[in-house]
Amino acid sequence: MGSAGRWLGALTVCLAVVGCGPAVSDEELGTLVVDPSKIPGAEEPYDPPQLDSPLDAPTAADDETPAEQDSP
């Protein structure tokens, strides 16, 4: 059997075992909550944290006075 036959055999085995694994019961899968009002705290708004943007940071050019910027 050539190299191509080995690869074809390995591919066949891989495709045959896809999906094999332990059975999972519905209880182990958890609960889906369809109605968001049943989730505690869903009615309270959440303000995302304010992140420091690198564009808002002061630069060396911001520290100079206009007279310093014009001088060579």
pLDDT in tens, 11-67: 888 777 777 777 888 888 887 777 877 778 878 888 888 887 767 666 666 556 555
Q: pLDDT at position 62, please? A: 58
Residue type present at position 43? E
Q: What is the pLDDT of residue 22?
A: 79
| pLDDT of res. 65 | 59
Report how far apart the first and last C-alpha atoms of the chain are (Å, whole number).
Answer: 79
Of residues 44, 28, 13, the one with CA closest to residue 5: 13
Q: What is the dihedral of CA 63, 65, 71, 72, to 10 degrees?
A: 10
**With a threshold of 0.85, does the pTM exceed it?**
no
Sequence-ordered list of residues with C-beta below 8 angstroms from that of 33, at least 6 positions apart, any chain: 39
